[in-house]
Amino acid sequence: MKETTSYLRKKILVLGLAKSGVTAASILHKLGAFVTVNDMKPLSENPEAQGLLEQGIKVVCGSHPIELLDEGFELIVKNPGIPYRNPLVKGAIERGIPVITEVELAYQVSEAPFVAITGTNGKTTTTTLIFEILKEDGKLPLIAGNIGTVASGVAENATSDETIVIELSSFQLMGIEMFKPEIAVVTNIYDAHLDYHDSKQEYIEAKAAVMKNQIGSDYFIYNANQEETMNMAKNSMAELVPFSTTTKHENGAYIEDNAVYFRKERVVNVSDIRLPGKHNLENILAAVAAVKLKNVKNEAIQHVLSTFQGVTHRTQYVATIEGRMFYNDSKATNILAASMALSSFDNPVVLLAGGLDRGNEFDELKPYLKHVKAVITFGEAAAKIERVAREAGISIVKRVDNVEKAVPAAYEISEAGDCILLSPACASWDQYKSFEVRGDMFMEAVHKLK
């Protein structure tokens, strides 16, 4: 861990626990700060808070009392999930108290450089690909951030020989001050999280923060097919590295002659890539650009791309049974994500969709249902999806109780050469604790067919 006196004897409030809050509080305590932790969950039901109390850290649980701000805190480290409209956060900002997320803390204690990935879709796939390729080439990568590992915990033990590959959400990026990755990647920008952000512009500005502190010796990798990301690039001080599936950019990554190129160098044949989907080609181009900037050998890229089948629950290949190919895209909790998954396949598709909608209809799915031969629905949104499927001319539309029953139902009406795709276009909470549980149930049902 990098020696820093930035937090020594500072009064700091860690707001919200979960994994990131616990780790941040512990690190700040080690760095000599006077730490207070505040979490909504009562202390009696909060083993994390109890553990911090045993370390000698002050704990306030059960509510977010606005009176805490009278204690003279010099900094607040906020859990990314707590919105800025929270009265305690709002009050801190009004008093001029800086509010950061633990990603900023991670940067300040890390000896290792960062490769940071953000965007609306494709973050996890791109992050995982960069990590796997760097690992294949022996570059000592570490993986952190929104992908599931607390950034400051990883950074605490990182060395200068390693590289932290970090997936970042807009929530995390709103709370940075000095964070500066040597390589920043923005995969794409679509409307998202507008229940958290006041506007799309605020969302875009949060994403753009990933490169706001970069300088000329850093790199900004961006999607050259999108106006929003191209506008970001205009404000970047870093060396610009575009990627595009449709246009040749000789200073970036692109597709030519059915191959992936980086700065005029042929890297890998598209036909050798295992990961399905046109949208995944964008993720691959972004990842290739990042690892080539880290001087990775083409052989490492070729090996990973020829074997990588996808991140769990994200258009993940599961199995082929009697010629039917099963794919788990449970992470598709909205129409946009399901549309991208559907556009990935040329084969006839049996679509498994449903769950908890957000009050929306599903008419935007219609253009992507042209090669869908059947739809199996489940969950609260079943009737809405069935209407759209019938209006799209799909003759086989069937409702079942849940994902587990959807798998054998889809198998019965499919034939060799078909893709059976779970891409719900809905949240999971009406029937499952999370999209991960829903995806696991799907995969278990597929393996039972064997």
Q: Which residues are annotated as a binding site for ATP?
A: 119-125
Residue 313 burial (CB < 10 Å; 0-12/13-18/19+)? buried
Q: Provide the pairing of β-strand 259-262 with 253-256.
A: antiparallel
Residue ranges of the binding site: 119-125
Residues 415 and 428: their CA atoms lie apart, in Å, by 28
The gap from C-alpha 287 to its chain's centroid, in whole angstroms, comes to 14
Q: Provide the pairing of β-strand 114-118 with 183-186.
A: parallel
The CA-atom distances, in angstroms, between 181 and each of 148, 336, 392 are 19, 29, 46
Residues 154 and 115: their CA atoms lie apart, in Å, by 13
For the chain, the three-class secondary structure string (H helix, E strand, C coil) is: CCCCCCCCCCEEEEECCHHHHHHHHHHHHHCCCEEEEEECCCHHHCHHHHHHHHCCCEEEECCCCHHHHHHCCCEEEECCCCCCCCHHHHHHHHCCCCEECHHHHHHHHCCCCEEEEECCCCHHHHHHHHHHHHHHCCCCEEEEECCCCCHHHHHHHCCCCCEEEEECCHHHHCCCCCCCCCEEEECCCCCCCCCCCCCHHHHHHHHHHHHCCCCCCCEEEEECCCHHHHHHHHCCCCEEEEEECCCCCCCCEEEECCEEEECCEEEEEHHHCCCCCHHHHHHHHHHHHHHHHCCCCHHHHHHHHHHCCCCCCCCEEEEEECCEEEEECCCCCCHHHHHHHHCCCCCCEEEEEECECCCCCCHHHHHHCCCEEEEEEECCCHHHHHHHHHHCCCCEEEECCCHHHHHHHHHHHCCCCCEEEECCCCECCCCCCCHHHHHHHHHHHHHHHC
Sign of torsion, CA 169 170 176 181?
positive
